[in-house]
């Protein structure tokens, strides 16, 4: 039975998900899906050809990843990035991230978000995420200089910029940290791109005090030709791609008449979560290829069509 034929039965199985009350990915462990084979770059760590200065892009399981998804003027995979550094034969990841600190409580919402440059072992960094890819250095970029940059900011305990201000670098947000580290290694500078002009999002951005018209998505540092390794908690890489196509479909459906409340809900604790129906949809998408032999590979347009068909059945059709 072909993949596309078997989709019909898988679709029926996933459609029953809502009736079971399943609301989690039920993802058991970290899988390494594909590793680049290159005789000139032999494996250096856990069977992967890792080296200092490479970028690692990740997808968080948190609802905030869907908020970051909606902000740029087009859809991009991935919502966070860090830098790989090899130290004494072990792979580490330097990143800048933050968490909500509720005491003392500040009146401006984002003043309660605090963080600084962190250093974690590779798998310690990857495990809490749904999916990750390591992207090799662009030609001519000096990985040692990239590593020196991130180590320096780790020593300086550079703080997280919760207001995403690109025009000043005393504090940094995650992709700003990646961008400046790549520049330190000799990469051509890359500036933020346009943000999405959307009434509901503009209200949120104005309320938070973040830039209205620019965004620096993590996927700016993605290049399929330079993927060194892919890993994650999905059963297959095809399932990961279906998940991202599910997010793409949510982005497509978030028209200018949509409100943030159509995607998110706000708990009394102040935590933002996905609406239950959105959660069930994205969980269902991630399971579309369960039990399917030889699912379409990463980037196959059949997955886009399958996911849209699933979304039309779940939410109702929406024109482009």
Please write the tens of the pLDDT for every residue from 173-198.
999 999 999 999 999 999 999 999 99
Please write the tens of the pLDDT for every residue from 13-27.
333 333 333 334 444
> What's residue 243's pLDDT?
98
Per-residue pLDDT at 152 exceeds 80:
yes
313: closest CA among 22, 16, 61? 16
| Distance in Å from the first CA to the final CA of the chain | 32
> What's residue 159's pLDDT?
93
> When comparing pLDDT for 224 and 267, which is higher?
224
Place of tokens 């708990």: 267
Contact yes or no for 99/159 (Cβ under 8 A): no
> What's residue 110's pLDDT?
66
Band (97; pLDDT cuts 50, 70, 90):
confident
Residue 82 CA to residue 59 CA, distance in Å, equals: 12
Per-residue pLDDT at 106 exceeds 60:
no
Residue 203 CA to residue 230 CA, distance in Å, equals: 36
28-233 carries CATH number 3.90.1720.10 = yes
> When comparing pLDDT for 296 and 99, which is higher?
296
**Where along the chain do the CATH 3.90.1720.10 domains lie?**
28-233
Residues in contact with 242: Cβ distance below 8 Å, sequence separation at least 6, in sequence order: 285, 286, 288, 289, 303, 306, 307
Phi–psi pair at 92, nearest 5 degrees: -120, 155
């Amino acid at each position: 039975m072909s993949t596309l034929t078997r989709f019909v039965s898988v679709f029926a199985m996933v459609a029953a998900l809502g009736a079971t009350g399943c609301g989690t990915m039920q993802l058991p462990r970290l899988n390494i899906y594909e590793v680049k084979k290159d005789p000139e770059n032999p494996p250096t760590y856990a069977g992967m050809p890792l080296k200092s200065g490479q970028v690692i892009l990740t997808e968080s399981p948190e609802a905030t990843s869907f908020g970051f998804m909606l902000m740029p003027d087009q859809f991009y995979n991935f919502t966070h990035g860090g830098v790989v550094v090899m130290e004494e034969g072990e792979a580490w990841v330097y990143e800048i991230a933050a968490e909500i600190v509720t005491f003392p409580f500040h009146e401006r919402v984002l003043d309660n978000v605090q963080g600084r440059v962190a250093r974690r072992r590779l798998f310690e960094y990857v495990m809490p995420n749904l999916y990750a890819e390591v992207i090799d250095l662009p030609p001519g970029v000096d990985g040692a200089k990239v590593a020196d940059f991130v180590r320096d900011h780790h020593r300086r305990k550079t703080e997280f910029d919760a207001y995403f201000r690109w025009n000043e670098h005393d504090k940094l947000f995650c992709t700003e940290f990646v961008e400046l580290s790549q520049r330190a290694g000799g990469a051509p500078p890359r500036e933020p791109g346009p943000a999405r002009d959307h009434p509901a999002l503009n209200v949120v951005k104005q309320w938070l005090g973040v830039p209205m018209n620019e965004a620096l998505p993590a996927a700016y540092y993605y290049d399929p030709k330079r993927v060194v390794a892919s890993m994650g908690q999905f059963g297959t890489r095809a399932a990961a791609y279906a998940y991202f196509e599910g997010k793409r479909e949510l982005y497509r459906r978030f028209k200018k008449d949509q409100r943030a409340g159509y995607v998110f809900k706000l708990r009394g604790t102040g935590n933002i979560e996905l609406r239950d129906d959105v959660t069930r949809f994205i969980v269902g998408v991630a399971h579309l290829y369960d039990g399917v032999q030889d699912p379409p590979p990463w980037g196959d347009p059949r997955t886009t069509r399958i996911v849209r068909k699933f979304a039309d059945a779940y939410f109702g059709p929406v024109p482009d």
